[in-house]
Amino acid sequence: MTDPNLLYYGDNLEVLRDHVTKESVDLVYLDPPFNSNTAYNVFFPEKGGMQSAAQIQVFEDTWVWTDKAEQAYKELVTLGDQVSLAMLGFRTLLKERNLMAYLAMMAPRLVMLRSVLKSTGSIYLHCDPTASHYLKVLMDAIFGPENFRSEIVWRRTGAHGKTRRYGPIHDTILFYTKSTSYRWNSPTRPYMRGHVEEYFVHDEKGWRTAYYGNVLTGSGLRGGESGKPWHGFDPSAKGRHWAIPGGLIEDLEEDVAGLGQHQKLDLLLAHGHIKITPGQAWPMYERYLKPSDGMPVPDIWAFQPYTEGTVFGTNEGIDKDVRWLSPKDQERLSYPTQKPLALLQRILAASSNPGDIVLDPFCGCGTTIDAAQRMGRRWIGIDITHLAVSLIKKRLLDAYGEGVAKTYRVIGEPKDLESAKALAAQDKYQFQYWVIGEVLGWPVEQKKGADKGIDGRVYFFDEASSSKSKQVIISVKGGHTGVQDIRDLRGVLDREKAQI
């Protein structure tokens, strides 16, 4: 029986240290706070089920140098490794600025993430230009500069009205691996239509290659059959060697293991994949485009509006699959910094296989978890708010039905009266979010002073012919409740014209 997926409530540093087995994870994606000095809110439906200004602050992306940051810094420096040197350099440069506090928070978490990655594992760190250059140095110190693979530029918005500088419309995704032997599924994107029309010829079989660049050799001399003449062509005479494109071998659909280079060339010639024309310097290969063909995915992922029809084999525009979420997108959950599902699907497809374990230590509204569930990966999610955990549970329920609850466990939620009391004593708002989430409700806006007797709502429809939603009012009380609390709640029910 497959182990269940795991959703943790808690500080990811503690969860990684105490609960995630060393070298057990195949892929890590993290989208941590960016040190943007912004308080992020999540919007919830208001009466009638319509989105309004009702909102709750999810997290405040502001980092301040405190005694806790100082302690984290000292613990890292005493290790005496490359991370220590990086942190010492940052402290010299940044002093006790807020950015230094941010790096002191991120460093131990990145160290722990490396420890839970398998030797064949990969990590994608999503960040923005405010801290990406510092994080890259930190990642070099932790994973080694030799294990840096790509700096991906992802277009996160359509336009930005900033003045006196170029519009900031991209995020950065730093792709590192734990070693030089790592999972890589060679993802591709479709060719541009203009490229196909210029370099391929259309006939009754489809689009076939038709340009002189289809040579079967590579630069440099080689020993063995790769450097010897074949059908009168001598690659060594021109400082080259026989090099057969992998796509041609795939087209054969035969087992060529154990065959030499000349035998493979003979087989391709017999199947009509190689064409020899008198007078030409080299034999040429011919092949027809397949739906899976395309160019290797580049390191710029940028949807281009109004490019529909320019991509071969589809009516979608350039990089439409990783388009940023628009305000009216059905996928949007009104969660701050939410990323599109297809962005995570592209990452998971490139660096993991079905059955692999994917970890997101800042899982927020659960986009990584949704992608992993959808693509047959096992997953581990961690978040420090019960609000996020509740949102993820709702998201999975809505997407996969009630049966999905059997595929994962939530760890860190109260399971009995004593643990519920402990959470209430620790953080009354997290307790409140947990209670509301347990009855599938939406929290309401946090305001200073009285909350008008409403902590959450549930919207429902109970008549098939009616399009108007009804509502349940939720009031969460701690300590000793009495008759007056019930009377107050009854008054709120009447005032709001709620049904339950």
The string of pLDDT tens digits covering residues 395-430 is: 999 999 999 999 999 898 777 788 788 778 877 877
Contacts 24+ apart (CB under 8 A), 10-13: 10/382, 10/384, 10/411, 10/412, 11/384, 12/109, 12/361, 12/362, 12/382, 12/383, 12/384, 13/108, 13/109, 13/112
Averaged over 61-65, what is the pLDDT?
Answer: 68
Q: What is the pLDDT of residue 405?
A: 92
Query: Looking at 353-357, 418-422, 446-450, which range is the least confident one?
Result: 446-450
Amino acid 390: pLDDT = 85
Ranges 181-185, 234-238, 334-338: which has the least confidence = 334-338
Would the pLDDT of 41 be above 50?
no
Per-residue confidence (pLDDT) for residue 52, from 0 to 100: 36
Look at residue 150 and tell me whether its pLDDT is greater than 80.
yes
In whole angstroms, how far apart are CA 411 and each of 228, 401, 404, 430?
A: 63, 21, 16, 15
Lowest mean pLDDT among 135-149, 231-245, 324-338: 324-338
pLDDT, tens digit, 9 for 90 and up, residues 271-330 = 888 888 888 888 888 778 888 888 999 999 999 999 999 999 899 999 999 999 988 888
Residue 243 in contact with residue 226, Cβ under 8 Å? yes
Inform me whether the pLDDT recorded for 45 exceeds 50: no
pLDDT band at 453 (very low <50, low <70, confident <90, very high): confident
Q: Amino acid identity, residue 97? A: R
C-alpha count within 13 angstroms, C-beta hemisphere, residue 253:
2
Per-residue pLDDT band at 161 (split at 50, 70, 90): confident
